[in-house]
Amino acid sequence: MRRSPSRSIPGPDRRLFVRSRSHRSLLLIALAVLLPAGIFALMQDRDARPAVAQSGGPDPTGIELGLEGIPGQLNRSVSVTNAGDGSGRLFVLEKRGTVRIYRDEVQVSRPFLDIQTRVADDSNEKGLLGLAFHPNYAENGYFFLNYTAGRGNGRTIVARYSVSADDVERADPDSEKVILTIDQPASNHNGGHLAFGPDGYLYIGTGDGGRAGDPWDNAQTTGVLLGKMLRIDVDVPEEGPPYAIPDSNPFIEDPDTRDEIWALGLRNPWRYGFDPATGDLYIGDVGQGALEEIDYQSADSPGGENYGWRLMEGTRCYNPGNGCRKPGLIDPVAEYPHRNNDKSVTGGLVYRGSRYPGMDGLYIYADYATGRFWGLSRDGEGEWRNAEIGKFNVLPAGFGYGEDGEMYIAMDGGRDPSLYRVIQEGVEPVEPTPGGPVPTATSMPDEATPTSEPPTSWPPTEAPPTATQPPTAEPDPTEWNLNLPYLLRQAGG
């Protein structure tokens, strides 16, 4: 049944602005001192979208990416992010249903959250897939999860959780408030990522529902939430509906289109992210059998983009095989073919750290199956440039920022290390200046897992990767990524 968020709720833009203005001002002052300008931009009032990106970024040609491993035991880690609370901690998602903390790049032994009993990960694309902390987490303790529940086809659940009242290293597993549920018609293509935009709204990427070729035409069907980018307002009164529709959503006047929809025509937007300096959105949309693509949306976009699937796969007609183009379809800004085992794009992020100024403004993304990385940016004329910048023996599953603006990547597969920090090979890093963000000790040091090894540069000791959880579903030959053991063998080289 169609959810009908109360349109009588006052306009979300105005309400949040008024309600939290004083808190926000204090927070902004504190953050202005603590955080690099890029992260600060993310915290701006939602009414003030960031300025449009100036075109021009580093030429990816000639940039050599490096990865520095951060030791720790992770089981199928798929995402990494920070809480924006000044603690400097990293939070890593494990697909089976746990969230783990790294403090000062050292793994804390106890999980932040364990909801394995609620999460169904009985096939490879199911599980605990996305995590986003509320922009005001430091004040309200809220964070949001995207996971699948129920065996078989199952359903997607987006839910809010809270940190414990008395322990910053523990979330309250009983605090779940379900925000949105989407029934899944097949076990694959569940999207899974979550991200707050610079406007303060929650962006939810949904897959087309699954199987191959979008047999239900979900991505182009505007009456369903599958195959879309959704945009909702979670800052609503506790007693009312769990979310509201932003007044500026593009289809609220269209009775045939769900109000939650921000953009459509996506197949499986497994990972996406906003440039913290500009507010531009980059979406990695996993392709069918031929092309992987990066979709782009400028910060000043009013929404409503149609990224083409299943009419098109990348820049080619898919269904129909000819004459698929119709007005308004948006081509990707970069694509790559299935070749040399490249099979599934993991959308990345724009590097905005302070250690490698030569990569400032470079969008970095990867192929999950081969560990090949590319850099993407625009030249002074606004033309997109794309180049391979590295290839590593890893399965890149999710990119995230540390609180200091540096970029981290969670790798699937269960090896130690499975978490990496991005560096620029052959370039001496600019060390953080005193007075920069300082991680705050808020727990006893003995809660941290001692590690015997400092972070190691790639390659680490060559222990073969092990599939800790063989998928139970029969691999569909058209759906390569159900076959994890195969990929792990590939990555093991």
Which residues in this chain contact Ca ion in the complex, by CB under 5 A? 184, 186, 189-190, 209-210, 307-308
Looking up tokens 């990106």 gives 53
Least Å distance, CB 190 to Ca ion, is: 5
Least Å distance, CB 264 to Ca ion, is: 10
Rounded to 5°, angle at Cα 21 from 19 and 24: 120
Q: Which is nearer to Ca ion, 335 or 403 (CB)?
A: 335
Dist. CA 445–CA 443, nearest whole Å = 6
Asked if residues 395 and 368 have their Cβ atoms less than 8 Å apart, the reply is yes
Least Å distance, CB 151 to Ca ion, is: 13
Least Å distance, CB 429 to Ca ion, is: 36
For 487: left if phi > 0, alpha if psi spans -120 to 50, otherwise beta; the answer is: alpha
Q: Which is nearer to Ca ion, 209 or 250 (CB)?
A: 209
Least Å distance, CB 329 to Ca ion, is: 8
Least Å distance, CB 250 to Ca ion, is: 18
- Strand runs (DSSP E) across 61-209, as ranges? 65-70, 77-82, 90-94, 98-103, 106-107, 113-114, 128-133, 142-149, 155-163, 171-183, 194-196, 202-205
Q: Which is nearer to Ca ion, 95 or 189 (CB)?
A: 189
Q: Which residues lie closer than 8 Å to 430 by C-beta, 6 or more apart?
A: 354, 355, 356, 357
Asked if residues 365 and 350 have their Cβ atoms less than 8 Å apart, the reply is no
Least Å distance, CB 71 to Ca ion, is: 34
User: Does residue 14 have a cis peptide bond before it, meaning omega lies within 30 degrees of 0?
Assistant: no
Least Å distance, CB 405 to Ca ion, is: 30
Q: Which is nearer to Ca ion, 189 or 421 (CB)?
A: 189
Q: Considering only CA atoms, which of 376, 363, 236, 298 is closest in space to residue 51?
A: 298
Q: Which is nearer to Ca ion, 17 or 480 (CB)?
A: 480
Asked if residues 93 and 128 have their Cβ atoms less than 8 Å apart, the reply is yes
CB burial class (10 A; 0-12, 13-18, 19+) of residue 297? buried
Expressed in angstroms, the distance from the first to the final Cα of the chain is 48
Q: Which is nearer to Ca ion, 209 or 279 (CB)?
A: 209
Q: Which is nearer to Ca ion, 27 or 317 (CB)?
A: 317
Q: Which is nearer to Ca ion, 201 or 307 (CB)?
A: 307
Q: Please name the helix (run of DSSP H) or strand (run of DSSP E) that holds residue 436, with its range, or none.
A: none
